[in-house]
Structure formats: C-alpha cells, structure tokens
Amino acid sequence: MIADLLNLYPFLIDGIVQSSPTAALAYATAWLMPGPEAGDDDSAESDIIYALETCLDCFPEIYAEALQRIRDGVDIEQIEHYLIAEVQKRTNFDIEQINDLIHYISPTSFACPLFDEYAGEFGEDHPWFKIASLFRGVDEEGADNTAQETAKALANSLKEAEYESLRLAVLWLFGLTGNTMADYSIYEMSDMGLEYPYWTPEDVEFMIEAHEEAAEIQKMAQQGLALLESDPDLLKTFKRNIRLLERRKRDNNGRITNYRLVWPERAAIDAPGQTAADVELLPIRYDSAA
C-alpha cells in the first residue's frame, strides 16, 4: 500500500512531463532553481539560504552545484565550506565565514600595518618604521600632516624620476595611495563608516579589480622598501631629499609646491617594462595623492 503511494508520485511526474510543457517547465524550475526563501531566524540554514541567493545572482555555477550537493544529502557544514572555498577561489576575497557571503562584500586590507595598533608586530626596530621615521612628524601613532605632505611631494618627485616601486612605497607607508584597501586597515574602514558594496555581479567585478590593484600596490610598495633597504646610495639620496623638502616653504594647507629633486639612475626593478600598478585606474577614494 505504502509502496503504491510512493510510486504514485513518479507516475504523476510522468504525466506532467508528457502532457503539459508549462507544467514540465514549472517542475524543472522547482527542481533546478527553486528560489530559496530564508526564515527570519539566524539559524545556519537561513545563512546558507542567504548565501545561496548571493551565489544565484553572482556565481550561478556555484549555486547549481551547491544545490545538487544539498539534494544529495551533504551536511550544512560542508556546504558552507564549499560555498566559501569556491567564492574565494573565484574572487580572492577574504571570506572567513558564511556570513561574509550575505548582504555586502567585506573588503580585504592590503594596507601597511606599520601604524595599525592591532597588527602588533611592527615596533620601532622594524626596518619599515626606520624608513617612515626619516620623515619629520612620524611617531609610533602615525604620521601628521607635515609628514604626509612631505611624503606626497617626495612621491611626486619619484614619479617624475620613474621610481615606481619606491613612489608606491612612500605612499603606501602613509596610506596615501588612493586605493582604500591599500590605505586602511579593516578596523579603520569600519570606523570610517564606509559603505561596502553589495553582492551584485557588477560590484563583485569592481571589487575583484580593486582587490587586484590593492594587492599589486602592496607588492610593488614592498619591493620599493626592499630596494631602499638594499641600496645605501639610494637611501642616502632618499634621506637628503626628505630634508630638502622639509626645508621648503609650504602653503596654507601645508603643501610643498615648488621643488625639484635629483635621484640616482633608476635601478633595474623600476625600469620600464616592469609591472606597475596604476592607482588612477580604479580610484575608489577620490582624494588620491598620486
């Protein structure tokens, strides 16, 4: 008797598929893209459903595969791991938990951790701090306006001299690159009340590019710092030029406007043809110092 009832369903489905294209389409839709609805609670099931909605909009392949896994009886924890790993693989976003796939895209910070109180491992003896403290107005707390304006002027000069990695190093040390993720820690971004982009295909694409740019800035800046640490002549010129700038007259905003600095011949790392991040390409903050 029960077996008859269990067999009734496939029999009815047969009838639907054979007789009515509209009903068959509705059944296929319910099967393949059921349009999940989350409950009001904060349960793991609801989180998964919200995360699946994100995937339905932005990563349909992941959605389809996850749905099939759910139907195959894979447990929720494994589905969570699958969604996180797959989205991370496609975006390189820093996704730690399933909540990160809900509502908005959490940015990743590529900022210099030198003055980040939560980073903890960068003391006065750190080589980067020694470089930063060459600028007047820098202490363990950070850089004041004088130091930042000196850094901007120095970076402009380095741009003219085509010292790209060193230019980015100077801007990156003081959070002046113009790329939010290369300039601020996660805590700073949160304190500033930045509105993060939502999980939409357009914003995902934008954030992937912004992440790539920030990562490139970080990489280039660290190359620039390494260059400075390894080249005593360049370091000497660097110090001298900072002193020259600090002696220049400034306008009411502290800007140094009239200066020309001399740099040694470019090192191979900054030679033309090397990869260089274009910080003007994707300005997600509009006060770029570059």
**Shortest distance, position 37 Cβ to another protein, whole Å:** 17
**Shortest distance, position 16 Cβ to another protein, whole Å:** 9
CB 247 within 8 A of CB 143: no
CB 105 within 8 A of CB 197: yes
**Shortest distance, position 56 Cβ to another protein, whole Å:** 8
CB 182 within 8 A of CB 251: no
Q: Considering beta carbons, is residue 81 or 243 the nearer one to another protein?
A: 81
**Shortest distance, position 24 Cβ to another protein, whole Å:** 6
Q: Considering beta carbons, is residue 58 or 154 the nearer one to another protein?
A: 58
What is d(CA 232, CA 238) in angstroms, rounded to the nearest whole number? 10
Please state, in angstroms and as integers, the Cα–Cα distance from residue 80 to each residue in 44, 45, 62, 102, 257, following that order.
Answer: 9, 10, 12, 12, 54
Helix (H, G, I), strand (E, B) or coil at 214: helix
**Shortest distance, position 202 Cβ to another protein, whole Å:** 15
| 105 CB burial (10 A radius; 0-12, 13-18, 19+) | buried
**Shortest distance, position 14 Cβ to another protein, whole Å:** 7
Q: Considering beta carbons, is residue 14 or 140 the nearer one to another protein?
A: 14
One-letter amino acid identity for 31? W
Q: Considering beta carbons, is residue 127 or 201 the nearer one to another protein?
A: 201
Binding positions for another protein, rule: CB under 8 A: 3, 6-7, 9-10, 13-14, 17, 21, 24-25, 27-33, 56, 60-61, 63-65, 67-68, 71-72
User: 175, 176, 181: which is closest to 214 by C-alpha?
Assistant: 181
Helix H or strand E segment including 86: helix 76-91
Q: Considering beta carbons, is residue 5 or 268 the nearer one to another protein?
A: 5
CB 246 within 8 A of CB 190: no
Q: Considering beta carbons, is residue 24 or 208 the nearer one to another protein?
A: 24
